[in-house]
Chain A
Amino acid sequence: MAKTILAVDDSSSLRQMVAFSLKAAGYQVVEAVDGQDGLEKAKLQTVDLVLTDQNMPKMDGLTLIKSLRGLPGYQKTPILMLTTESSEDMKTKGRAAGANGWLVKPFDPQRLIEVVKKVIG
């Protein structure tokens, strides 16, 4: 069965591109437009991997990650931060919030798939 990925990004162009690329690689994708939406979608179903942007309205990526870690079924789900924030600080914060890794924007779809494959096969 195809693995499901929750992609959270407030930018519809990036989100669509991520979703398109992942679908092309054979994954199922659930899209969410901000952290809050992501959390709600996560509650509706479990997913195999979460990709989230950091800077979003309503709820940012770090808060989403922290909230997800408090949800049943999400303690161990791999979470990757997609972010243009390239500071060590942000990485430290991401790790503290419970993320498993990070991917710098901009990225090309190939690299995204490569990273996702590394994590969930």
Chain B
Amino acid sequence: MTIDISQFYKVFFDEAEELLAEKERLLLAVDIDSPDPEDLNAIFRTAHSIKGGASTFGLNDMSEVTHVLESLLDRIRKGEMALTGQHVDAFLAAKDILKMQLDGHRNGADVDQEAVANVRMMLHDLSEGVIVPTHQPTVPSFLHAEQKQQVTEGAHRYKIELLDLAKRDVDALVDELGLLGRVSVVPLAAGRTALIIMTHEGLDDIIAICSFVLDPNDLKIFEAPPLTPEQRAREAAERARIEDEQGYGFFDPADPVDAGAEEPPEDELGYGFFQPIEQIRREAGIVAEAPPPAPVRPEPLEITEVAAEKKAAKKSGEGSHAQGAESSSIRVSIEKVDQLINLVGELVITQAMIEQRSDGLDPMVHQRLLASVSQLTRNTRDLQEAVMSIRMMPMDFVFSRFPRMVRDLAGKLGKKVDFITNGAATELDKGLIERIVDPLTHLVRNSIDHGIELPAARVAAGKSESGRLFLSAAHQGGNIVIEVADDGGGLNRDRILAKAKQNGLPVSDNMSDADVWQLIFAPGFSTAEIVTDVSGRGVGMDVVKRNIQALGGTIDIRSARGFGTTILISLPLTLAILDGMSIRSGDEIYILPLGFVVESLQPARADVKEIHGQGRVVKVRGEYLPLIPLYQMFNIEPRITDPCEGILVILEAEGRKAALFVDELVGQQQVVVKNLEANYRKVAGISGATILGDGGVALILDVGALLRSSRQLSDESVIS
């Protein structure tokens, strides 16, 4: 019988990915000065589990890296070595390498073998206790492959082959040679060892140092040519193979505690028993034919066996039940979920049709049918909510990637940043989650790069040395509001205005702050004094804004000079379904996303005022709002042209309000959004379409665009 284990690869990939994320989370949280032993154990366990899986599934490159990692972590958790920042850096780098290898196996992504070799070397150095020179980058070394090249440039590589030498002596030698340069230990066959040293010193110095420890005649030393990347990778793999053998060897002779009971050949198979197998089987009551010399025990044995069998039989039903409950989640492909959502969407439409058709029926005659219909409505809504919730993912999916980024970035820029997140459990549609990652990454980078000042500047400004970066998510009505806040220098109004003038944007000095902040969303706008490699290259906030808007969201800035900047992103919870208000203008039905609707009212004639050349405004609760007749926007033949006879729907988007003049309100309902662009083309002022209960198509209004265009219209009319 052959068993194909490849079907478990995917499970392992998912699992390894989770373990790596967990490992990173733990590493970032660990207190270097006094690490919690539980944390160290947990970190060790992640490496251990990945190694176990990787070796079982034959992913040798991963098991090699985790093997080195695991042994180092093991020494740290056992207290043989103190955890240092260098360790954490190396472990994080190793995590990146493992992720790269994982992606390599999973999607055939490229694996940078040199980076792998670098990290292995780094881990190896650390476990050998070799002091890595401090000018070495402490951020993941593969990011700095070029720099590293320079460090080792001009250095000689020597290979020192040692004859039979006690481990103590090898260690002593490694320590001594460590003073000259980077040393790594390569175990050779037959228990011998070779040392590779990378140093600027000459051969004589090395021999001199070796002679402290051993007879120079006992060693062979020769200069090795610098490694080509291929060679380096090969050598790393070779070394790993040997280490592997050491790590999994386990082929010791018989167990010393009870040598007689062991079957030595089994040991070489990688398993063994502590008692003779017959004894185990007999005692467990597996062998029915008990050996003759044990007649005293058979009866009670038999009874227990029967009892056990009965019990097992009785419980087998429960057993399988418990098995089902054991795994609390299953992995399903997103296509299946989307198909389900689509079908439910169709069902919602069908249900709405039934509801509408049954409206005309006489309640007395069709009482039972109508009751069923209303029950169907309720069930459909519940079903829809339940199905939509499958696609919901916690924001933690996005947030969890930032601690690492913040740490690396802050380190690179010499800044100190306390990173705080809140509301990571807030759920958002998977599609939105994935598309919010890039804009948020950009904003977080901006905050660290341009927002938070250098420690010295902060102290001079009377603030704490480390800046605070606050990332939070919360539900607010039908939206999720994501906040990126820093307590850095804030936006510089004068500089933004100056830059805007330079870029030829229409600005004036007495613009409101909110309007000034909006300027940074203009294409090509960057006020960074120095363009760093982190952010500030001019592609930026405009892309962020476009992305957010494409998700149906809005972005808002609050900033105070010297106190920091807060960026608020508001997103709909899901893209697939929206709560809509259906309105009529002429013969057309349109849908307004309910989130934008503030209220609706019929204005008193005195509240509607004509402003010469600028259309009409309406006074609502002491506020004058522009009046937008929907029929004018879309050139529809209206039934009503007098706002006082129709209905005004007060809309609010992007911080602006307006009153939309429509003929009547039709109703309020959940609509399944159908993409217009995918099926037709983009239409200005329209964000999508939906199918109504009667089978007709209604367009969903793009409120943001509507409000903007109304503004442009009135602006133009001022000019003319």
Contact = CB atoms under 8 A, between A and B. Distances in A.
B255 interface: yes
Interface residues of A, number: 61
B49 interface: yes
A41 interface: yes
B156 interface: no
B470 interface: no
Pick the most buried of B44, B252, B258, B273: most chain A CB atoms within 10 A of its CB: B273
B274 A95 contact: yes
B48 A48 contact: no
Contact of B250 (A28, A78, A86, A111): A86
A13 B53 contact: yes
A86 B244 CA distance: 12
B270 interface: yes
A14 B45 CA distance: 14
Nearest to A22: B3
A99 to B, nearest CB: 7
A44 B269 contact: no
Nearest to B45: A55
A73 B337 CA distance: 45
Contacts of B309: 1
A30 B319 CA distance: 7
A16 B312 contact: no
A104 B270 contact: yes
B157 interface: no
Contacts of B638: none
B8 A16 contact: yes
Contacts of B5: 17, 21, 108-109
Interface string A28-69: 101111000100010011111100010111000000000000
Given A1-B309, A86-B250, A101 B11 contact: no
A14 B48 CA distance: 13
Given A100-B280, A103-B271, A120-B284, A17 B56 contact: yes
Contacts of B271: 80, 101-104, 107, 111, 115
Nearest to B9: A13
Contacts of A84: 48, 51-52, 55, 248
Interface in A65-121: 73, 76-78, 80, 84, 86, 88, 91-92, 94-95, 99-111, 113, 115, 118-121
A4 B319 contact: yes
Interface of B is mostly: helix
Interface string B552-575: 000000000000000000000000
B11 A12 contact: yes
A46 B11 contact: no
Contact of B248 (A11, A12, A104): A104
Pick the most buried of B7, B250, B327: most chain A CB atoms within 10 A of its CB: B250
A110 B275 CA distance: 22
A119 B274 CA distance: 12
B266 to A, nearest CB: 9
Given A11-B15, A88-B252, A44 B322 contact: yes
Nearest to B10: A13
Contact of B48 (A41, A55, A94): A55
B51 A44 contact: no
Contact of A57 (B7, B45, B257, B315): B45
Contacts of A107: 56, 270-271
B248 A121 contact: no
B326 interface: yes
Contacts of B272: 91, 101-102
B676 interface: no
A46 B56 contact: no
A14 B53 contact: yes
A45 B53 contact: no
A48 B305 CA distance: 10
22 contacts: A1-B313, A11-B53, A14-B53, A17-B8, A17-B56, A20-B7, A31-B323, A46-B311, A55-B49, A56-B45, A73-B308, A73-B311, A78-B281, A84-B52, A84-B55, A84-B248, A92-B257, A101-B280, A104-B250, A105-B52, A105-B56, A106-B55
Interface of A: 1, 4, 10-14, 16-17, 20-21, 24-25, 28, 30-33, 37, 41, 44-49, 53, 55-57, 73, 76-78, 80, 84, 86, 88, 91-92, 94-95, 99-111, 113, 115, 118-121
Given A14-B12, A30-B319, 5 more contacts: A44-B318, A78-B281, A101-B273, A104-B270, A107-B270
